[in-house]
A and B are shown apart, each in its own frame.
Chain A
Amino acid sequence: MQKIPLMLAKAGMTIARDVFRGDSPIGIPICGKGTLLTDSLIARFDNMDVQSIYVEGHPVWEEGERSFDDILHELDGRFIKTLQEPLNAMLYDIYKSYLIKSMGGDSDRQAE
């Protein structure tokens, strides 16, 4: 499951969580999970101010084909100057485990 910006949603993806109106996120769902996305459905979500949706699998990869290793490598690059400081090292570890959690590890990518 991946949370994606609505602008990147494409017909053929499957909704993984109920979709709510953008202005009332705890109201009645406007579309149930398991529904196959179509162009008209995406347009309707847009009209209802939906900003993001959860879809099955991990269909959207930012900026082309960045692998999990690349993403971790970029994280290392951003922290290169400040990793020796304890608070920054803590933030680095938190981000690293966040990324591992959100990407479902490297194996998920291989499987697709």
Chain B
Amino acid sequence: MTDKRSDLKKIIMDTKTLPTLPGVIQKLNTLSDNDKSSVQEMAKIVSSDQVLSARILRLANSPSYGFYRVSTISNAMILLGVNVVKSLALSSSIFAIMEKDSVGLWEHSLGVGVAANLIARKLGLPECEEIATAGLLHDIGKVIIPLKCSEAEKTIQKLIYERQIFTMEAEREIIDTDHAEVGGWLSKSWFLPDKLSEPIAFHHDVAKSENHRIKTAVVHIADVLIKASGFGNSGDCFVPSIQKIAWDALKLNEQLLAELVDEVEDKLVEVKNFSLEMMSE
């Protein structure tokens, strides 16, 4: 491992907090102040934000709690209790400095979460909620890279724009690693279960996923679908190749894909409404 890469890995392993969108925090605070709001309502807001979800899962999986690997938001919220989630949301507001251009990445993540859920349900796969969470968190590496190496991030953006290449190619060239690997490191150091960390780390290289290949394949296809629809912004605007191994693992065919496109696009109208609501707060 080269110096640049191991330095970055060390920094990421030490990362305890990530900034999230102010709109999400505000909405959660309003809900927690209202006696009439339910855990379900809070869970819905939490699972719309990749950063807050990651933080709650980190807490639920921390060795001090001693729970056995928690992989869904709703389980984590039930185990931690509403009060802990409340205080986590409040403490997040201190770090709520995510910029406006992060909205695109947030929309992309939310879109992939929704698409992953639709694919999993359509194929009748077990653990749909875990797959949706993995989809939501798949680009968490893209949240952390600009934060930990803001100079390198500027060069990466410049490279994507000038040479019209994939985000990943630019990342490899500048920081000698990529957002998938970085996301994998983060999820390992936060003790997230394999069923989440594998799809995060290998959503661009499904063949490397050994224990949770189906879940990784769903997240990969969901990512491709959202990139194809042009919803949100994940750095570059190019649709990645559909990996044959993912296609075969899910036993997809043309008709299924066409139905999925219809369903995903239909659902994205609602996701758009949600994101418009968030931004107007």
B residues in contact (CB < 8 Å) with A: 166, 224-225, 227-230, 237-242, 244, 247, 254, 257-258, 261-262, 265-266, 269-270, 272-274, 276-277, 280
Contacts and interface: CB of A to CB of B under 8 A. Distances in A.
Contact of A78 (B238, B241, B266, B280): B238
B254 A95 contact: no
A95 B229 contact: yes
Main secondary structure of the interface of A (DSSP, over half): helix
Interface of A: 3-8, 51-52, 74-75, 77-82, 85, 87-88, 90-92, 94-95, 98, 102
Contact of B269 (A3, A85, A90): A3
Nearest to A102: B265
A51 B230 contact: no
B242 A52 contact: no
B244 A51 contact: no
B238 A82 contact: yes
Given A85-B241, A88-B239, A88-B241, A75 B266 contact: no
Nearest to B276: A7
Given A7-B277, A95-B261, A79 B254 contact: no
Nearest to B278: A7
Nearest to B264: A98
Contact of A75 (B230, B242, B274): B230
B243 to A, nearest CB: 8
Nearest to A51: B270
A95 B272 CA distance: 19
Contacts of B228: 75, 78-79, 91-92, 95
21 contacts: A5-B272, A5-B273, A7-B272, A7-B280, A51-B273, A51-B274, A52-B270, A74-B230, A78-B228, A78-B237, A82-B238, A82-B239, A85-B241, A87-B242, A88-B241, A88-B242, A90-B257, A91-B239, A91-B242, A92-B228, A102-B265
